[in-house]
Amino acid sequence: MTEEMQKQWVEHKMCQPRIEKVVVNLNIGKSGEPLEKATRVLEEISGQTPYKAKAKKSIRDWGIRQGEPIACVVTLRREKGLAFLKKVLPIVDNKISKRSFDEIGNFAFGLKEHIDIPGVKYDPDIGIFGMDVCVSVNRPGQRIKIRRKQTKRVGKGHLLTPEESMEYVRQTLGVEIV
């Protein structure tokens, strides 16, 4: 099946999967100075300015109020996302679980410590943060289902399957699917 996929990808440019975006989420759970430190760390790692995500609802036991910023998130698209993945995947030994892939080919994994990333040094004033990395994989032409004007459906044959996504990630990033 992989030879068939590769042949189709070469013959038909619109069938070639690609990494659309990589979303890196650093959830702190409280605002203030810890969130500012996390924002600095994420900006250093990604090279982009993260935005602060706000709490959707209040949770009294955790001391979270609705609308309070509790996380910082950055979205890396295309080449920047691919470069970030190549830098981060060796931390998880270039292995991703098969269960990490969803029904449309996207996948996610987590990092326990940001200091494992090459080029990042430990700073006792900042501390250590873990992060979630979510990767969106799709084919060209998927925008028609999310655009504002003239939204259309994508045909069943053009949707990306998890197996195709796994094969693309295996080829492009050299990842082992466990």
Taking only the tens place, the pLDDT of each residue in 26-41 is 888 777 888 888 888 8
Residue 1 pLDDT exceeds 60: no
List, in sequence order, every residue forming a beta bridge with 176; answer none if it has no partner: 95
Residue 3 falls inside a structural domain: no
pLDDT at 29: 78
Residue 148 confidence (pLDDT): 92
Element at 74 (helix H, strand E): strand 69-77
Q: Taking the model in full, what pTM does it have?
A: 0.86
d(CA 15, CA 165): 12
Mean pLDDT of 17-22: 91
Kind and range of the H or E element at 4? helix 2-11
Please report, rounded to a whole number, the percentage of residues in the chain having pLDDT higher than 70: 99
Average pLDDT, the chain: 87
Residue 64 lies in a domain: yes
Q: Which two tokens stand for residue 95?
A: 């292995």
What is the model's pLDDT at position 150? 92
State the total domains in the chain. Answer: 1
pLDDT digits (tens, 9 = 90+) for 76-124: 998 999 999 998 988 888 888 999 999 888 999 998 888 888 878 888 8
Is residue 59 situated within a structural domain? yes
Could you give the CA distance from residue 145 to residue 29 in angstroms, rounded to a whole number? 33
Domain that holds residue 42: 18-177
Which residues, in sequence order, are CB contacts of 73 under 8 Å at separation 6+?
23, 24, 25, 26, 50, 51, 52, 53
> What confidence score (pLDDT) does residue 178 get?
86
Rounded Cα–Cα distance for residues 48 and 50 (Å) = 6
Q: Is residue 79 part of a domain?
A: yes
**Please, what is the angle between helix 162-173 and helix 2-11, to 10°?**
80
Residue-wise pLDDT tens digits, 49-67: 999 988 888 888 878 888 8
Distance CA(14)–CA(140), nearest Å, equals 5
Whether residue 5 is predicted with pLDDT greater than 80 in this model: the reply is no
Q: Tell me whether residue 82 is in a domain.
A: yes
Q: Evaluate whether residue 8 is within a structural domain.
A: no
Q: Is residue 2 part of a domain?
A: no
> Which CATH number characterizes residue 67's domain?
3.30.1440.10
What are the residues whose beta carbons fall under 8 Å from the beta carbon of 76, sequence distance 6 or more? 21, 22, 23, 24, 46, 48, 84
Using the predicted structure, report yes or no on whether residue 3 has a pLDDT greater than 80: no
- Confidence check: pLDDT of 4 > 80: no
Return the pLDDT at 109. Answer: 92
Task: Judge whether residue 75 has pLDDT over 90.
Answer: yes
Q: What is the pLDDT of residues 122-167, one digit of tens each?
A: 888 888 888 899 999 988 888 888 889 999 998 888 888 888 889 9
Tokens of 122: 């430990």
Task: Give a yes or no: residue 10 inside a domain.
Answer: no
Per cent of the chain over pLDDT 90 is 21
